[in-house]
Structure 1
Amino acid sequence: MFKTIQEALSYIEKQQELREQRLKDKSIYVCVGTGCTANGSRKVYKKFVKVIREKGLDVKVETIDDDESNVVRKTGCCGLCSLGPLVKIMPEGITYSHVRLDDVEEIVEKTIERGEVIERLLLTDSVTGQKITKLEDATFFKNQTFYIMEGIGTSECEKIEDYMGRGGYKSLLKVLSSMKPEEVIETVKASGLRGRGGGGFPTGLKWEFTYKAKGDKKFVVCNADEGDPGAFMNRTLLERDPHSVLEGMIIAAYTVGAQKGYAYIRAEYPIAVEMFNKAINDAKKMGLLGENILGTGFSFDLEVKEGAGAFVCGEETALLASIEGKRGVPRPRPPFPAQKGLWGYPTLINNVETYANIAKIIRDGVENYRKRGVEKSPGTKMFSVTGPLKLTGIIEIEFGTTIRYVLENICGGTVEGKKLKAIQIGGPSGACLPEKYFDLPLDYDTLKSVDAMVGSGGIVAITEDSCMVEVARFFLDFTKRESCGKCVPCREGTMQAYTILEKFTQGKATYEDLENLESLAKIVKTASLCGLGKTAPNPILSTLKHFRDEYIEHINGKCPSGTCTALRKYVINPELCKSCSLCARACPQGAISGERGKPYVIDQGKCVKCGICFEKCKFNAIELV
C-alpha cells in the first residue's frame, strides 16, 4: 500500500517501463470478454497454460514482475465480437480468430516455437477479402479512432499494474497533489465533454452543480444499467478497462466533495461486476481508494450495486431509488439529483464512458482532447453496431464521422449484398433514419436536428427486406413492457400504441388508426413523466415521418417486405408449376392440392403463411404477392 503520492508515482513509472518491455516479449493474449467467453475463450486460455507448461517452456503465467518473459495473458474485448475467441501473439502482433481448443497445440508449436503463421486462423478483412496478419491492419480497426479503447488486444483487463503501465492513476495523483476542485471542474468544462449515456448534457456543468450544492454528505454514482437491445458499450468498457472508470469516479468524488460512491451495474453483466469489484479491491490494496488516500486527507469508498434488469432504472432518479432499496420508479424533476439525490443528499451521476474520459482529459490536456470530434461534440464515442453487416461489435469513432462511413468502411457493408434501407440509432427510444441521412455526421446536435439522438450509442442496421412498421412494433413492445407504470401516459399510452401497431402488422388497420397512432405518440411524448416515456414513441414518429408509405400499404393489405406473416399471400404460378407435388406433401395444413399434369393451387382459407412451400419448390413456381 502506498502511503504518499510520490510512492505511487514511482510505482506507476516503473510499471510504464515494464509494460513497454512486456510488449517486446513473446506472449499470448487471449480475449476473455463476454463475446469471446461465450465462444469458449476461457477454456482456450486454460489450454494454452496447460500446453505451455507441459512443453516445459520458460513461461510465467499471470505474473507481473521485473524479470517476466513469456506469458499467457487475459485481455479485454477489442470490439470484434463476431470473430471470437481472438488470440494475439506478441511481439509480432499475429492475431487469430475463431480459435478452438484443438487449435491451441498447433499455435504453440508453429507460431510460438517456430514463428510460423497459421493461415487458416488469420482474420479475413471484411472489405478486401484478404487474410490479415495483424489485428490493427484490418479495415475494421484501421478506420476507427481509439482513445478510450486504447491498448486494443494487449490491455490486461484484470491487472491494475497494466493500467498503470498505460499511465493509469497519474491523473488522480495530479489532481490530489496540485489541483483544486474548481480547477478540475474548469478543465472538464473546457474540454466540452458531454454525457455519454443519453442526452449529452455538459459534464462539467453537472459537476459544478453538485460541487456547489449544500449537503452534509455527497455521493458519486456510475450508471452502468445498460438495458438497450443491441447495446453493450458499457459492459465492454467495464470488462476491458475497469480502472479507467474507477479512476474517473475517484477524481469526481474529490472534485464534488463526495465520501461514498456506487457503481450500479446490471446483474446480467456478471463479468463486468466481477472485473469492477476486483478493480475496487486492487485500488484499495494500493491505497488509491478508502480512508485518507495517499495521506492527502481525502477519503472515498465505493461499492457495486447490482441492478435487477429494469430498463427504467437507466433513468437516474429511478436508479437512485433502486440503490436506496426502493422500487425503481422515476420521480419528477426538479429537484435534480445534483441538489437532492441519494437519501436526499447531493449526488453526481455519470455514465461509464463519461467517467472513462476524465483521467485522459486531465492527463493529456484539454487541447489534445479537443483535437478529436467536432466543436460542440468533442472527443470520441463508442457505438455498438448490430444487424446484417459483415462485421458487428463495438467501435470507437470521432464525433463527426458519418453513418455511411461506419456502415461501409468499418463494418464492411451488408451480408449477401443486401441494400440498407435505414438505421435505428439511440436505443429502443431512438429514431429510424432512412438511407438519405447516412451522410450526416454522428454528433449530438446534428442528430437532434433530424429528431434523432446519439443516446447510449446503439446502431442497428436495417436492410430493404425489413418492414419498418414491424421495426416500430418491436421496439415499442420492449418499451411498453419496461414501463414502470407510474404515470398514465406511458403506462396506458404505450400499450394502446402497441395495440394499434399490431393491427397494422395483422392487416386490420384503417386510416383512422393511422391518425390515432400519430396523435397518441405525440401525447405520450409530451405528457410522460420520465425519459423512458418521453422517448418511447420515437420509433413510431420517425417511421411515420420517413416511411409513411409502408403504413399505408399495410392498410391496403400488403407488407412491402413480406415480413408481416398475416399479410403474406403465397400463390402458385401455373406457367412455372411442374405439378411435382413437393409443395403439397410439405404443407402442414393440407392447403395445397392438384393432380398430375395440371398446376397445383393453394387454398388461401387454409394457408397459414408459413412459407414451407416457398422453400421446397425447386422451380420458383410459388410466389409471394
Structure 2
Amino acid sequence: MQALGNRVGNDDGIIYIMTCCGTGCTSSGSLKDRERLAALIERDNMQDKVRVVKTGCFGLCAEGPIIMIFPENIMYTNVGPDDINEIWESHIMNGHIVERLRSENELDFFSKQMRIALRNCGRIDPENIDEYIAFGGYEALEKVLAEMDPEDVLETIKKSGLRGRGGGGFPAGVKWQFAADQKSREKYVCCNADEGDPGAFMDRSVLEGDPHSVIEAMIIAGYAIGAHQGYVYVRAEYPIAVERLSIALKQAKEYGLLGKDILGLDFDFDLEIRLGAGAFVCGEETALMRSIEGNRGEPRTKPPFPAVKGLFGKPTILNNVETLANVPQIIMNGPEWFSSIGTEKSKGTKVFALGGKINNTGLVEVPMGTTLREILYDIGGGIPNGKKFKAVQTGGPSGGCISADYIDTPIDYDSLLALESMMGSGGMIVMDEDTCMVDIAKFYLEFTVDESCGKCPPCRIGTKRMLEMLTKITEGEGTLEDLDELEDLAHNIKKGALCGLGQTAPNPVLSTLKYFRDEYEAHVVDKRCPAGVCVALQRYVINPDICKKCGICASVCPIGCITGDRENGYSIDSTKCIKCGTCVEKCPFKAIAKNA
C-alpha cells in the first residue's frame, strides 16, 4: 500500500505487526488486540521473530480496529480479539493471508492520497524516538543548524508557498518573517493544537502518531525567528495526544534535541505543554496566548498582530499542528518540491477529517486542488444506503455548506472562499438527502452561541438573536421577513465582531440561505420540513391502502392520539401527536410515515 509507505528494516527477517492505537481504534478495542498478540508471541516463543508496534491513526477510521503486517504490507480491518487467533495461525505462522479481514475499500481509500503531514502516522511507534530518527527524523533540524542561516530558513518556507492549515490560510513564511524582523531579546513559538471544530481530528491524529515532527518543526521555527522558548497549546480532552507529546518531549531532551546547545551547536530552545480547558474561542490566536499567560481566553483587537506583540507582549508566531508537520519535509526536499504540489495559490497537501453521511469516515490527505467529488466518492466511498449527496460542510462552525451543484470544485483556499465557505482546520462533514439544512445551520449556531466568549456585543448578542430566529423558523413560526432580517443580521455580525471566530460565525447560515433558500421558504411558507427532521413540523399519517386495521398503532400510542376501529380503520390526530415515532416503529406493515 504505497500511500502508507513502508518500514525500515523489512529485510531483517522480522515480522512487524503494526497496531493502530489512535483514539478511534483504541475506543473500538485495539488495546485488546495488542494484549492477545503479546500473549501469542510469548506462548509460541516468537519474541525474536515478531514485533508488535504501537502506531497512530492509519486513516480508515470507519473500519477500525486496524492492524498492518510488514513486510507484506497487508492491512486487516475490523479486527477483534477473536480474529487475532486466525491471523496468527494463518498469516504469521503459515504465511496465508486472511482474505475475509482485508478491506474492500483499502485501495480506493489510499490511491489518491499523498501523505506529507501524515507521512509517519501508522508506520512508526510515536513513543519511540529511535523510530522517528530511523525514518529521517531530526535530519531537517541538523541541516538547518549546521548548514543554514535563519534567513535561509525563512526564504525556504516563503518559497515553498506553505499557508497556515488552521484557519484563513495566511502564508507561514511571511508570518515567520514578520516575527524575525522584530528587535526583541525574547520571542516565542506557539503551536495551536486546540482543534475545537466539531468533527475535526486532524491535529489530534498527528500528535498521537508523529509528535516529533511537530517538535522538530517548532525548533526550526525558533531558530528562524530568534526564539528560544515554545509552547504547545493542546486541549485536555486529547489525553492520548498529550501523553505521547509528553513522552516525545522527554525523549528529545534526553537526546540533546531540546534545551541548551542543541546537537552540540550554539542554539538553545525548549518546549512546554499548556493544556486548554476546551474553550472553542481559544483556537483564536490572541485568546490562545492569553490562556497560556494564565488569563481568561478572550481575543483582543488587532493590530498589533502577535508577530509584533504576542505572548507576554513579545513577538510570537503561532501555527497549527498540520502546518508545522510539513516543515521538516520542506527543509529536506526543498521548497520547489513542495510548491510543485497543489494549485497556483494553494501549495502542498491538505488533511481532511471525513465524517457524517459517508461510507469511509476517517482521515485523508490529498493534494490541494483535488475535487470534492474525488474526495467523497473515490476516497470516501460515496454516500451510505444509496442516498443522494446533498451538501458538505467545511471549516467547522466558521465554514459554510457547499451544495451538490459544486461537487466538481477543486478544493483549495480560494475556491472555498468563493463558495462562502473556508478551509479552516479541515473538518469535512457530509450530508445526504435526509439532512435538513435549516437544522444544520441551527446546530452550528447553537455551538457558536454556547462557545462565544461574550467580549463583543455582535457575537454575544447577535448570534443569540440569529439562533432565536432559526428556532422560530424550525418550529413553524417564521415569516419571510425573518429570512431577510436573518441575512441582514448575519452580515452585520461579520462586519462588527471583534475576532475571526465571531466574524465567521454567520457563515453556515449565510451559505445555507444562499444554496438552500427553498428549504427555508418551505419551513416558513408551507410549514413543513422537506427532510422531515424538524420535529415541530412533522406530520404522521396512516396510509389506508397499506394499513391492515390491526390496531397495534393505537395500542402503543403513549397519549392516545390514534383513534378508530378494526372495521373503519385508524387515524392520527395531528393536534395531539407528540411525534415520538412509536407508531412508526411498531407498525409491522410500514403503513405509517412522516408526511413532511
TM-score band (shorter)? over 0.9
Q: How does 1:221-236 map to 2 (within 5 A)?
A: 221-236=190-205
Contact 1:24 1:90 in 2 (8 A): no
Q: Could you say what secondary structure the match of 1:222 adopts?
A: strand
| Offset of residue 293 of structure 1 | 1.0
Contact 1:188 1:204 in 2 (8 A): yes
Query: Does 2:275 align with 1:306?
Result: yes
Number of the residue aligned with 1:422: 391
Q: Give the alignment partner of residue 500 of structure 1, picking from 469, 472, 475.
A: 469
| Offset of residue 443 of structure 1 | 0.4
Query: Does 2:53 align with 1:73?
Result: yes
| Offset of residue 504 of structure 1 | 0.9
Task: Give the number of equivalent residue pairs.
Answer: 590
Query: Does 2:74 align with 1:85?
Result: no
Counterpart AA for 2:464:
M
Number of the residue aligned with 1:44: 33
Query: Does 2:533 align with 1:544?
Result: no
Number of the residue aligned with 1:35: 24
Query: Does 2:134 align with 1:146?
Result: no
| Offset of residue 506 of structure 1 | 0.6
| Offset of residue 268 of structure 1 | 0.5
Counterpart AA for 2:278:
G
Contact 1:222 1:349 in 2 (8 A): yes
Number of the residue aligned with 2:580: 610
Q: Within 2, Cα distance between the matches of 1:74 and 1:595?
A: 64
Query: Does 2:34 align with 1:54?
Result: no
Q: How does 1:508-523 map to 2 (within 5 A)?
A: 508-523=477-492
**Which moved further from structure 2: 597-606 or 147-156?**
147-156
Number of the residue aligned with 2:331: 362
**Taking every aligned residue pair, what percent have the same amino acid on both sides?**
53
Number of the residue aligned with 2:247: 278
| Offset of residue 604 of structure 1 | 1.6
Q: Within 1, Cα distance between the matches of 2:12 and 2:521?
A: 60
Number of the residue aligned with 1:526: 495
| Offset of residue 573 of structure 1 | 2.7
Counterpart AA for 2:203:
N
Number of the residue aligned with 2:166: 197
Number of the residue aligned with 2:290: 321
Counterpart AA for 1:86:
I
Q: Could you say what secondary structure the match of 2:370 adopts?
A: coil
Counterpart AA for 2:404:
E
Number of the residue aligned with 2:104: 124
Counterpart AA for 1:622:
I
| Offset of residue 115 of structure 1 | 1.0
Q: Could you say what secondary structure the match of 2:8 adopts?
A: helix
Query: Does 2:80 align with 1:111?
Result: no
Counterpart AA for 2:470:
L
Q: Give the alignment partner of residue 565 of structure 2, picking from 567, 592, 595.
A: 595
| Offset of residue 324 of structure 1 | 0.3
Counterpart AA for 1:46:
E
Counterpart AA for 1:254:
Y
| Deviation sequence 1:276-310 (CA, Å, 0-9, x none) | 11111111111111011122221011011110000
Q: Could you say what secondary structure the match of 1:373 adopts?
A: coil
Q: Could you say what secondary structure the match of 2:550 adopts?
A: coil
Q: Within 2, Cα distance between the matches of 1:120 and 1:588?
A: 46
| Offset of residue 148 of structure 1 | 2.0
Query: Does 2:557 align with 1:624?
Result: no
Number of the residue aligned with 2:353: 384
Number of the residue aligned with 1:458: 427
Contact 1:579 1:597 in 2 (8 A): yes
Q: Within 1, Cα distance between the matches of 2:70 and 2:546?
A: 60
Number of the residue aligned with 1:576: 546
| Offset of residue 621 of structure 1 | 2.8
Q: Within 2, Cα distance between the matches of 1:459 and 1:23?
A: 41
Counterpart AA for 2:66:
L
Contact 2:546 2:589 in 1 (8 A): yes
| 24 and 169 in structure 1: CA distance in 2 versus 1, 3 angstrom threshold | farther
| 384 and 23 in structure 1: CA distance in 2 versus 1, 3 angstrom threshold | farther
| 24 and 453 in structure 1: CA distance in 2 versus 1, 3 angstrom threshold | farther
Contact 1:23 1:91 in 2 (8 A): no
| Deviation sequence 1:372-410 (CA, Å, 0-9, x none) | 111111100100010111111100000000011100000
Number of the residue aligned with 2:3: none
| Offset of residue 70 of structure 1 | 2.6
Contact 2:121 2:209 in 1 (8 A): no
Q: Give the alignment partner of residue 396 of structure 1, picking from 358, 365, 370.
A: 365
Q: Within 1, Cα distance between the matches of 2:47 and 2:218?
A: 40
Counterpart AA for 2:310:
G
Number of the residue aligned with 1:257: 226
Gapped regions of structure 1 (runs ≥ 5): 1-16, 60-68, 126-134
With the length of structure 1 as denominator, give the TM-score of the two structures. Answer: 0.92
Q: Give the alignment partner of residue 561 of structure 1, picking from 531, 539, 556.
A: 531
**Which moved further from structure 2: 19-28 or 602-611?**
19-28
Number of the residue aligned with 2:75: 95
Contact 1:191 1:366 in 2 (8 A): yes
Q: Could you say what secondary structure the match of 1:594 adopts?
A: strand
Q: Within 1, Cα distance between the matches of 2:540 and 2:264?
A: 77
Counterpart AA for 1:435:
A
| Offset of residue 154 of structure 1 | 2.1
Q: Within 2, Cα distance between the matches of 1:336 and 1:564?
A: 43
Q: Could you say what secondary structure the match of 1:377 adopts?
A: coil
Q: Could you say what secondary structure the match of 2:514 adopts?
A: helix
Q: Within 2, Cα distance between the matches of 1:367 and 1:541?
A: 38
Q: Within 2, Cα distance between the matches of 1:99 and 1:334?
A: 53
Q: Within 1, Cα distance between the matches of 2:201 and 2:358?
A: 17
Query: Does 2:442 align with 1:473?
Result: yes
With the length of structure 2 as denominator, give the TM-score of the two structures. Answer: 0.97
Q: Within 2, Cα distance between the matches of 1:360 and 1:151?
A: 12
| Deviation sequence 1:537-577 (CA, Å, 0-9, x none) | 00010011111111111012111111101001112233332
Counterpart AA for 1:399:
M
Q: How does 1:477-492 map to 2 (within 5 A)?
A: 477-492=446-461
Root mean square deviation, CA, Å:
1.6
| Deviation sequence 1:160-182 (CA, Å, 0-9, x none) | 11111111111101110111111
Contact 2:180 2:224 in 1 (8 A): yes
Q: Within 2, Cα distance between the matches of 1:123 and 1:152?
A: 19
| Offset of residue 119 of structure 1 | 2.6
**Which moved further from structure 2: 476-485 or 144-153?**
144-153
**Which moved further from structure 2: 20-29 or 297-306?**
20-29
| Offset of residue 152 of structure 1 | 5.6
| Offset of residue 194 of structure 1 | 0.3
